[in-house]
Structure 1
């Protein structure tokens, strides 16, 4: 019980939440969640689009405060709902002032909620939008390492901005390819799970200059609050775990991941 009551640490240096889903949070009013997020010195929050039905929602959320931002993209689970009208909407808004990336896009062969060939086609089409709009990309890849690498290789020259493979749980092969190509890897509450040594191994091999912090809220709540709905304000626990796994000073992890986030999403191309 004592772990459950542990206060959320507040760092002197700000941190950035690079991946959450604000419109999916249900346990508390959004205003309270955002207030608590600011209290723990989270300077910016990126809320992620995943489906045709929440593209406009994410855009609206990103306008509610100067420190809120969004993305535009269709998750592989929703690939079969992708069509020319959806593509036009993403293209139209990919360069909006408060939209910082194309995503969440990619491949998911674990759940197979959409036909794999359709997933690959939709992944390619959205990578092309990122190339054309000069935006970084937020990538989802699960049990699809080989195809993710193959498709990214098609865009190595055109996709200048790169981006992040978020919630990284894949193998070292995809990790090394991504790192060699200048991508970031995003880590969240999974790094705190007892049985996630495979993810911590990837954290160890990833240079701190290529790590981004995220919660993926409302999913994957970190220890010591596992069992509750996740929220951006739990991000400090992930920073602490990354520092522990990499055997680095916490301050170094906070400052470097902050700079990584700025460079990836908020710097001019």
Structure 2
């Protein structure tokens, strides 16, 4: 019996621990029913090598942006740079971008400038924005709302693990929330409750591999195949069978990441 197909909407296949054995990693993903994956470039200087992965492997698509934790040491992205990358047929999203005040609050102003620039790129290219948000809920909700009022764009709150208030702010703008391995941890009931209250047609799943492996692999290297573990736990949160949840999140992915859709 074959596994239901599902999508890993966010992984980092260019990071060393995965890139060293990519053929095996992708093969295991396919065996687990993970038929598509989006690998994320977090520093634009690495765009060439991330694009090369997407070019080589049919199931892999890619996105690029400047991660908020590295904006202080990277050149500020330009609209021209991002729009040019977006011309690649397998380039499907802008980011990840966002705000991270946990370790890098000292670059707060630069992070906000970078975020607004990435939002404008998402508007211009009509590609979804991929947001990383940590310990920055109020600024994140404010900037997303301000910018949306200036012109619509689509967005996913990747690896969402923030407050119910930020979830509501994002969902009020018709944005998507993505479930990572964190949502499968035993102590994450509060986070699962936030997801359970969200519309089912706004939910994605991801690994954020090589980080945040779900049980039974917690503490080990994560990889796209493990999307299935996160999704099985997530299906329980929504009171669905795994097959129903896989089908719904795949439809959601196709709607948001239209360049990577089956259609």
Report the CA distance shift for 1:114/1:44 in structure 2 as closer, same or farther (over 3 A): farther
Q: How far apart are residue 84 of structure 1 and its match? A: 5.4
- C-alpha distance in 2, partners of 1:148/1:74? 16
SS of structure 1 residue aligned to 2:56? coil
Among candidates 121, 135, 139, match of residue 143 of structure 1: 135
TM-score by length of 1: 0.90
Structure 2: gaps spanning 5 or more residues: none
- Aligned equivalent of 1:43: 35
Cα displacement (A) at 1:85: 6.3
- 1:88–1:231 CA distance, 2 compared to 1 (3 A): same
2:104 maps to 112
Q: Distance in 2 between matches of 1:49 and 1:38?
A: 22
Which is further off, 84-93 or 22-31? Answer: 84-93
Tell me, which stretches of 5 or more residues in structure 1 are unaligned?
A: 1-9
Of 61, 64, 76, which residue of structure 2 is paired with 1:72?
64
- Deviation at 1:247? 1.8
* Aligned residues between the structures: 260
1:22 positional shift: 0.2
> 1:181 and 2:143 equivalent?
no
Instruction: Report the Cα distance in structure 1 between the residues aligned to 2:77 and 2:175, rounded to whole angstroms.
Output: 29
TM-score, normalised by the number of residues in structure 2 = 0.92
Q: Alignment RMSD, CA only?
A: 2.0
Partner of 1:226: 218
Runs of 4+ in structure 1 over 6 Å off? none
Residue 103 in 1 paired to residue 89 in 2?
no
Q: CA deviation at 1:249?
A: 2.3
2:214 is paired with a residue of what secondary structure? Answer: coil
Say if 2:43 and 2:67, in contact at 8 Å, map to a contact too.
yes
**Could you tell me whether the CA contact under 8 Å between 2:95 and 2:130 is conserved in 1?**
yes
Q: 2:13 aligns with which of 22, 25, 48?
A: 22
- Classify 1:159/1:235 alpha carbon distance in 2 versus 1 (closer, same or farther; 3 Å): farther
User: How far apart, CA to CA, are the structure 1 residues paired with 2:29 and 2:140?
Assistant: 33
C-alpha distance in 2, partners of 1:76/1:11? Answer: 39
Cα contact 2:92–2:259 (8 A) shared by 1? no
